[in-house]
Amino acid sequence: AQSVTQLDSQVPVFEEAPVELRCNYSSSVSVYLFWYVQYPNQGLQLLLKYLSGSTLVKGINGFEAEFNKSQTSFHLRKPSVHISDTAEYFCAVSVPPAGFQKLVFGTGTRLLVSP
Amino acid sequence: DTAVSQTPKYLVTQMGNDKSIKCEQNLGHDTMYWYKQDSKKFLKIMFSYNNKELIINETVPNRFSPKSPDKAHLNLHINSLELGDSAVYFCASSQSNRRAFFGQGTRLTVV
């Protein structure tokens, strides 16, 4: 079975500072990896996904993530955050060919951006 | 227009009651899901329906019964509610195994 670990439950950061949200996964087979964002009182939105190919994946709102197979990680980064990036971020994994049909989520990391 | 909509947004009910949460998607997707997010924010899939047929049932108690009257709807009925059922329930949809779109969630509180 697959699992996802997001070690940081909360990450406080100042506006315009860089941020990295950590995600590690466990799987005995190849995986697809995803980052979702949940703004207050809203559903989850897909930020980016890794299915295959280039290990550096660019998503919406200036976010990017890098798949590192040897470290089983898929950390999310943004070089300069905005107040509006304050939200809950979820890392998720699935096993091909399930794709989005069976996502296993981490417990989330709350990003708090202050002025 | 909301792509995946759930009703109600909030639901407070007593133990032992039966309640339903409705979900509708207007994206023309063939697959719909129910996820449960517990108090520790752990988000886990409960059910998945493809073309109105159940394809994933993740060891969910029998008290939970999904019903898909058509491809655009997947309702969740819960019998004999327990305190541990308190959570946020998310509906989602996708076209086969492509990108899943999530609803805003239904916060269920059992007292």
Q: Could you tell me which of A24, A34, A50 has the C-alpha nearest to residue B102?
A: A34
Cross-chain residue pair A102–B45, CB shorter than 8 Å: yes
- Map residue B15 onto helix, strand or coil: coil
* A/B interface, count of CB pairs below 8 Å: 56
Please tell me which of the candidates A99, A102, A107 has its beta carbon nearest to residue B40. A107
Q: Give yes or no for A52 touching B (CB within 8 A).
A: no
Mean pLDDT for chain A? 91
Q: Cα–Cα distance between A51 and A32 in angstroms, integer?
A: 5
What percent of chain A has pLDDT above 70? 96
Chain A partners within 8 Å of B40 (Cβ): 107
Cross-chain residue pair B100–A45, CB shorter than 8 Å: no
Q: A100 falls in which pLDDT band (50, 70, 90)?
A: low
Each residue of B15-66: pLDDT tens digit? 999 999 999 999 999 999 999 988 887 888 898 888 888 887 777 889 999 9
Chain A partners within 8 Å of B4 (Cβ): 43
Taking the alpha carbons at both ends of chain B, their separation in whole angstroms is 34
**Phi and psi (nearest 5°) for A54?**
-55, 135
Three-state secondary structure along A67-100? EECCCCEEEEEECCCCHHHCEEEEEEEECCCCHH
Q: Are A36 and A89 in contact (CB under 8 A)?
A: yes
Q: Give yes or no for A100 touching B (CB within 8 A).
A: yes
Indicate which of B2, B31, B43 best probes the interface with A, i.e. most A CBs within 10 Å of its own CB: B43
> Is the pLDDT assigned to residue B3 strictly greater than 70?
yes
**Sheet architecture: strand order including B4-7:** B4-7, B19-25, B73-78, B64-70
